[in-house]
């Protein structure tokens, strides 16, 4: 009976292993989503120029090529984390709770029989990590106005010959999305009513 | 020089040679050495770990009942859920963000389980206060939710280091005079890692010419850290892994056998206290050890037939031994 149980267990174990086929593989590539690169754009009116010129930084070009070839981009480490509101909220709550618990634990330990060196070290590490994490989240939470805000004065700036800069998404699109060919630039501008207020 | 001192020196010298030899091989041919190392030592090191854990298992749980119940229940649930992840991945079409949340949730469960184990262990030590585990766990959970992929990668690199902690605790019990030498030698490891970073940081990434090489570089975090040379990542991971295998396969069994002159051979079930005890389980222990040996042979056969698939299966199921280290290490503290 025991031998039968052992053999059955082995068979089940191997069965599970073979059906699982193991590690989480490479993420499935999205077929429908266009490739995007987050960068910035500066529009500079120049009365002396005799032709429109599009200048692009080498690093942006490298990232563009990487996106086209499907290779990993050189996105900075900081940009690869906390780009999810759900995860950021949960992380913030947990770090807040950690800081609170660490404070209570610290206070209770101090009022006890004395604070050991290990306790002090642990307390300092926890408070430092939680503070830095919370600060990172708060910094990202206070991200400022939407990207369209920086383009609001573009018409006036162009008329006055001033340069305007703001965030831009470089997006690789299929040919049929720009039937006229070339490069298409979309600027988020709000229409203004008679009083000069944005509609 | 007394005999124990000279023995400690020999032990230290062997350790230093092992550290430098591992670093050299891992830097020289990381992919090839990684394949050979996993093939030869992955299975046997699990068998030695199993045997070591069985040696640490009490005959009756007694006051540690809750601790062991939590440990084994958590171990079972976490292992099953981890093994189920690839199956769920193939069955669903969740976005990358959805998967990040799933991975972060699993990591959180793991951390909560560890926290509960630490608190339960702390209860058995009335003179100490282990409630620091709660804020530490919450902070770790928070960081995990910020970057779950990086948290999982950190586990890949931290796990081999746990073996050093086991060896430290083991030496404190069995060879206290060696502890100082051991810790001095251990201080070389971060220096060697820094040297490897210095030497390999400018090297070009390893060519992922086939699926196996791609798997090995991914396991070391090449996709998460695209700006870091995959040669460096694989070399450092392999270096730590080789030391990890060395501790479990060579250091711990040898030190165990040198303490008692009349100790039984390691394959003898009677060498395990729980099998020797009058109220123990000699047949179950023998069966477990035999089953472990069968798994080792099956792994070797699997590696010979289809290395890449067997490697994937091994590293998925191996999460169980990674987690099993936690309760037994806590019991030694």
Which among B89, B139, B316 is the nearest to A130, CB-wise? B139
Residues 6+ apart with CB under 8 A from B89: A24, A25, B99
Give me the pLDDT at residue B22, please: 92
Distance CA A153, CA B4 (A): 81
3-state SS, residue A113: coil
Residues 6+ apart with CB under 8 A from B57: B274
Backbone angles phi, psi at A166, to 5 degrees: -175, 180
Distance CA B41, CA B314 (A): 12
Q: Give mean pLDDT in consecutive 10-residue pieces for chain B, a chain of 333 residues.
A: 74 89 90 89 90 85 86 91 85 79 91 92 81 87 87 88 89 86 89 90 78 84 81 92 91 71 70 77 84 91 88 85 87 82
Which helix H or strand E contains A170, and what residues bound it? strand A164-172
Q: Is B267 on the interface with A (CB under 8 A)?
A: no
Residues 6+ apart with CB under 8 A from B2: none
Per-residue confidence of chain A (199 residues) as pLDDT tens digits?
A: 556 555 566 555 545 444 444 444 544 444 555 666 666 777 888 777 777 777 777 666 776 777 666 555 445 455 555 567 788 888 888 888 888 888 888 777 765 555 566 767 777 777 777 777 666 665 655 555 666 777 777 888 888 888 887 777 777 777 777 777 777 788 777 666 666 665 5
Residues 6+ apart with CB under 8 A from B240: B157, B160, B161
Distance CA B238, CA B37 (A): 9
Q: Inter-axis angle of helices A85-111 and B133-146, to 10 degrees?
A: 160
Distance CA B9, CA B271 (A): 28
ipTM of the complex: 0.75
Size of interface A-B (CB pairs under 8 A): 140
Chain A partners within 8 Å of B225 (Cβ) = 77
Q: Using the beta-carbon criterion (under 8 Å), do B101 and A86 form an inter-chain contact?
A: yes
Q: Could you tell me the two tokens for B125? A: 């030590």
Taking only residues 81 to 110 of chain B, the set having a beta carbon closer than 8 angstroms to any beta carbon of chain A reads 83-87, 89, 93, 96-97, 99-101, 104
Q: Is B309 on the interface with A (CB under 8 A)?
A: yes
């Amino acid at each position: 009976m025991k031998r039968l149980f052992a053999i059955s267990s082995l068979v089940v174990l191997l069965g599970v292993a073979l059906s699982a086929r193991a590690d989480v593989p490479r993420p499935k590539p999205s077929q429908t989503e266009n490739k995007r690169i987050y960068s910035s754009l500066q529009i500079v009116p120049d009365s002396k120029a005799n032709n429109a010129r599009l200048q692009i930084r080498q690093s942006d070009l490298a990232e563009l090529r990487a996106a086209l070839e499907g290779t990993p981009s050189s996105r900075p480490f900081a940009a690869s984390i906390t780009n999810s509101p759900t995860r950021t909220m949960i992380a913030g709550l947990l770090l807040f709770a950690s800081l609170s618990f660490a404070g209570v634990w610290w206070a209770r330990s101090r009022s006890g029989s004395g604070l050991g060196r290990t306790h002090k070290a642990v307390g300092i590490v926890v408070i430092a990590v939680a503070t830095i994490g919370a600060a990172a989240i708060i910094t990202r939470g206070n991200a400022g106005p939407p990207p369209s805000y920086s383009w609001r004065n573009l018409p006036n700036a162009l008329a006055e010959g001033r340069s305007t800069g703001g965030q831009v998404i470089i997006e690789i699109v299929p040919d049929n999305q720009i039937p006229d060919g070339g490069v298409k630039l979309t600027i988020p501008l709000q229409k203004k009513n008679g009083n000069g207020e944005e509609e | 020089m007394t005999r124990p001192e000279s023995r400690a020196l020999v032990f230290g010298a062997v350790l230093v040679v092992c550290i430098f030899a591992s670093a050299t091989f891992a830097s020289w041919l990381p992919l090839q050495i990684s394949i050979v190392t996993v093939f030869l030592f992955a299975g046997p090191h699990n068998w030695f770990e199993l045997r070591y854990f069985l040696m640490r298992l009490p005959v009756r749980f007694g006051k540690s009942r809750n601790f062991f119940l939590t440990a084994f229940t958590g171990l079972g649930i976490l292992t099953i859920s981890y093994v189920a992840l690839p199956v769920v991945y193939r069955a669903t079409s969740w976005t990358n963000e959805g998967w990040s949340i799933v991975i972060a949730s699993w990591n959180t469960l793991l951390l909560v389980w560890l926290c509960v184990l630490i608190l339960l262990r702390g209860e058995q030590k009335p003179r100490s206060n282990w409630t620091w585990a709660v804020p530490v766990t919450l902070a770790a959970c928070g960081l995990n939710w910020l970057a779950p992929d990086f948290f999982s990668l950190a586990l890949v690199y931290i796990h081999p280091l746990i073996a050093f902690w086991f060896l430290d605790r083991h030496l404190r019990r069995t060879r206290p005079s060696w502890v100082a030498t051991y810790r001095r030698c251990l201080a070389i490891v971060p220096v060697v890692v820094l040297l490897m970073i210095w030497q390999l940081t400018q090297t070009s990434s390893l060519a992922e010419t086939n699926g196996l090489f791609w798997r090995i570089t991914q396991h070391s975090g090449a996709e998460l850290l695209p700006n870091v040379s995959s040669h460096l990542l694989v070399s450092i991971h392999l270096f730590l892994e080789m030391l990890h295998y060395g501790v479990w396969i060579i250091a711990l069994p040898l030190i165990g056998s040198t303490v008692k002159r009349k100790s039984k051979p390691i394959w003898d079930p009677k060498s395990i206290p729980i099998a020797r005890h009058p109220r123990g389980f000699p047949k179950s222990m023998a069966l477990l050890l035999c089953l472990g040996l069968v798994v080792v042979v099956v792994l070797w056969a699997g590696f010979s037939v289809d290395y890449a698939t067997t490697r994937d299966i091994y590293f998925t199921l191996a999460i169980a031994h990674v987690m099993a280290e936690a309760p037994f290490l806590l019991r030694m503290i």
